[in-house]
A and B are shown apart, each in its own frame.
Chain A
């Protein structure tokens, strides 16, 4: 590889971010940007599943006030700031949104709300919105790749969504505002100045705040860059106070620009088709694949063994009987037991009654086991079911459906969307919204889309 001067990294990113046109995006990238948008909207529609969403709604209104911007699932419009804050939170609230596994970072809660709010304000069309989401996500993923995860996250304790995400949001805003390359360079630098969020917040809702806050940081960076607020031209790679130095150990700047414009790394973002933590997704996939192929009568299972990478056992193994919704959603035992009971897994199965059901707790405690398998990586899992009649059923080793190696089909996405829209939108609105999202690249006026999003308030 040709040596790249650090300053060229920042300028190369900025030039690409400003100049890559929608038509230069490969078809797969355009389609994936659409999937990210659909997925984000679906996730936001079920935000009320989270206890903190009403709290956050009150906060967004208190700090930012009313305005003209759409909040997904609410008839009440907020200011641009308020809508970005609240939509960012709503997308991540129910633990159902995307994840870029190499950086363990959620991208859409930062990129999509900022893009939506500015697109609405500036009457952008569907292609502009999609290109903002695609290029914004691409830059976020590339910045993530340029950091050394081991240093940034494992050693120092940064939490990537607020550290990485605002770059993507800044670029997305900049795309819609049609920033020049030199202005985009400022936007990136202004994003550096706002990178925040640490793992001290782990285990509290504040980790989701990081994502919403990252969207706001990107919004501010884009708006200030439009005004040409002067900033360092080498915010990313400068030795003193540059992003890669302060948030890592210098990282790998070349990774941020390697094959830029030829390889679109954001297509490696995973979508979650089921509620729950990222590590449970391969297990659910494996189990539901098995149940689809094999009839397992309810109540016929005497023992369940879940095979996981040893590292996952170390972090998740001690969680046997969940006490609340969040615990339940990251518990392999609970998720598998629930899916086994009904042949599916969704929020209606994560109720306090289900979590505290004595029969369920006995099953979790006495009949389920997590088994370390050194041949497995964190993204692969399988399940072994022992039936009462002595039959042993073993699922295939698989990665999560929705991950790059097992991508979600449009049917998968439709199923997720439909579940999320159920009870939030009337049937006709849900159909119309799906149709608009499928054909969004041909939408020249996004107002009808925003109108439906405002109607998705559960009053159907």
Chain B
């Protein structure tokens, strides 16, 4: 064996326990704080889906989804309806493509692009309640987070795997399985069938196909759950089989025992972070630090001599490119992100539009006045931004890395939703949708929400 197998360590396969958890999860098991967090994540993901309509690759994925054929009866956020699997693909791509969806640091996964579209499509199809949807999304998010921790994202990434793509199918299968009422045996098959579709590598970094790998998680999980629902059998040892068990294929044996530790009592959902800015999660602190310099408080841009960012080895190695020809490139360029955040005092999707990417003033500012320095004492996402003005003043601001504590308030999330939906939905529709989402626990039918979110053919391009 290349790696020590989980079997060697005599660890029981966690698929059965995970299936029991997802099948048994009900409204009584879900603490209020978790319900609220899931509800916030749901609204945030819908906002991201609107934002993602404008991102590179969305048109291509949507056209391919249409080419798969089938009745177009499922909602696409901000677009025309698509088939059930097609809508899962497109919505997933949009959520991930916004570069603003949540992030679970310990698993290194974005989970909503896999979980929410699959759950939404089934809840819409079967006219299930908002409560059903929240429980299903909770099952999916918790599943992804725990598998990711057990696999060990550092190990996975060092071997070239992309955790969000590899683990995503499990979350979608768990969510769909919850909604369609699989029993434990079928849920176990669903998870196993999802896991045997796990795929996605880091070779696609810097391209929209990395995003595609996230939306494929929803597609694969949907397949796994619907196939299991018909009674199709699958492996009982998808994680721990000596040959082909995922803990042995994607990691060096992983930590299977942590997957089910205190499941249902402690919640990884609490550790999902929101992204305030439309940049990769590791660069959120860069924007925080730069905006924290307070340029808008009495300093004109012309008076900025330069800014310097002291960053950790990880940030320095991964994000110092000075080149950008696309939004994806620019989002991965720490100098660009810092420059545009300083000049615009925000860092949303618009900061990566063509007008900003090709702005010669911005390009010159980034090239001449943004400096990045490696500071070996910095850890993780820690950043210190310093600004030197032409009149000799100096300011600095530090932003630190706090796992799971990057929260947005409900008002901020709803504001993001409102802004993102602008241009896709009429104001009354936005109000109606937000009203339903504000009390989604009591929503009778998700189909009503989808009707409110349906833009009735006013598709934005």
Binding site for B on A (CB under 8 A): 52, 55-56, 58-59, 62-69, 78-82, 151, 154-159, 162, 189-190, 192-206, 209-210, 213, 219-220, 223-224, 226-232, 234-235, 238, 240-243, 245-246
A155-B193 contact in complex given A200-B246, A246-B201, C-beta closer than 8 Å: no
Taking a contact as CB atoms closer than 8 A, the residue among B201, B220, B229 that contacts A192 in the complex is B201
State whether A193 touches B209 (Cβ < 8 A): yes
Q: Among A65, A154, A234, point to the contact of B203 (Cβ < 8 A).
A: A234
B384 at the interface (CB under 8 A from A): no
Which residues on A sit within 8 Å (CB–CB) of B243? 154, 157, 198-200, 202
Closest 7 CB pairs of A and B: A157-B244, A198-B244, A79-B69, A241-B203, A241-B201, A199-B244, A227-B60
A175 → B minimal CB distance (Å)? 16
Q: Please, which residues of chain B bring their CB within 8 A of the CB of A189?
A: 203-204, 209
From A80, A159, A205, A232, B69 is in contact (CB under 8 Å) with A80
CB 8 Å contact bits of B187-223 with A (1 = contact, 0 = none): 0000011011111111111011100110010001011
A235-B204 in contact given A62-B230, A157-B241, A190-B212 (Cβ < 8 Å): yes
A193 touches B212 (CB 8 A): yes
Q: How many residues of B contact A (CB 8 A)?
A: 64
Interface pairs (10), CB distance under 8 Å: A64-B69, A154-B243, A157-B248, A158-B249, A194-B199, A226-B64, A227-B59, A231-B204, A232-B204, A235-B203
B residues less than 8 Å from A246 (CB atoms): 159-161, 201, 203
B63, B83, B199, B235: the one within 8 Å of A201 (CB) = B235
Residues of B within 8 A of A223 (CB): 63-64, 67-68
Check A193/B232 contact, CB under 8 A, given A200-B246, A213-B197, A238-B203.
Answer: no
Residues of A with C-beta under 8 A to B204: 189, 193, 231-232, 235, 241
Contacting A at CB under 8 A, from B361-387, are none
- Inter-chain contacts of A226 with B (CB < 8 A): 64
Of the residues A80, A162, A241, A245, contact of B68 by C-beta under 8 Å: A80
Q: Which residue of A lies closest to B240 (CB)?
A: A200
- On chain B, the residues within 8 Å of A66 by CB distance are 70-71
Q: Which residues of B have CB within 8 Å of A210?
A: 196
Shortest beta-carbon distance, B168 to chain A, in Å?
12
B83 touches A229 (CB 8 A): no
Most-contacted residue by chain A among B165, B212, B242 (CB, 10 A): B212
User: Whole-angstrom distance from the CB of A85 to the nearest CB of chain B?
Assistant: 8
Contact with A along B241-284 (1 / 0, CB 8 A): 11111101100000000000000000000000000000000000
B234 on the A face (CB < 8 A): yes
CB pair A155–B226 under 8 Å, yes or no, is no
Contact B244 A229 (CB under 8 A): no
Whether B233 pairs with A205 at a CB distance below 8 angstroms is yes
Q: Closest chain A residue to B158 by CB distance?
A: A240
**Most A CB within 10 A of own CB, among B70, B83, B249:** B70
Q: Which residue of A lies closest to B326 (CB)?
A: A230
Q: Is the beta-carbon distance between B201 and A193 smaller than 8 angstroms?
A: yes
Chain A residue contacts of B195, Cβ below 8 A = 200
Inter-subunit contact A229/B245 (CB<8 Å): no
Expressed in whole angstroms, the minimum distance between the Cβ of A226 and any Cβ of chain B is 8
Q: Is A200 touching B238 in the complex (CB atoms < 8 A)? A: yes
Closest partner residue, chain A, to B216 (CB atom): A194
Of A55, A65, A203, A224, the contact of B60 (CB 8 Å cutoff)? A224
Question: Cβ of B67 and Cβ of A198 under 8 Å apart?
Answer: no
Which residues does chain A contribute within 8 Å of B60, judged by CB atoms? 224, 227-229
Please indicate the chain B residues that have their CB under 8 angstroms from the CB of A238 in the complex.
203
The reply to whether B85 and A55 form a contact with Cβ atoms under 8 Å apart is: no
Is A82 touching B70 in the complex (CB atoms < 8 A)? yes
Q: Given A213-B223, A232-B203, do A79 and B192 touch, yes or no (CB 8 Å)?
A: no
| A209/B238 contact (C-beta < 8 A), A63-B222, A193-B212 known | no
By a CB distance below 8 angstroms, the chain B residues around A62 are 226, 229-230
Q: Considering only CB atoms, which chain B residue lies closest to A54 in the complex? A: B230
In the complex, B231 has a CB within 8 A of chain A: yes
Complex contact A230–B57 (CB within 8 A): yes
Q: Which residues from chain A contact B344 at a C-beta distance below 8 Å?
A: none
**Contact: A204 with B234, CB < 8 Å?**
yes
Cβ A63 vs Cβ B212 within 8 A:
no
Tell whether B1 is near chain A: CB-to-CB under 8 Å.
yes
Cα-based distance from A206 to B244 in the complex (angstroms):
13
CA distance A69 to B159 in the complex (A): 40
A206 touches B196 (CB 8 A): yes
Q: Does B162 contact A (CB under 8 A)?
A: yes
CB-nearest residue of chain A relative to B72?
A: A65
Name the contact of A229 in the complex, choosing from B61, B162, B220, B242 (C-beta under 8 A): B61
B308 within 8 A of A: no
Q: Which of B1, B200, B209, B220 has the most CB of A within 10 A?
A: B209
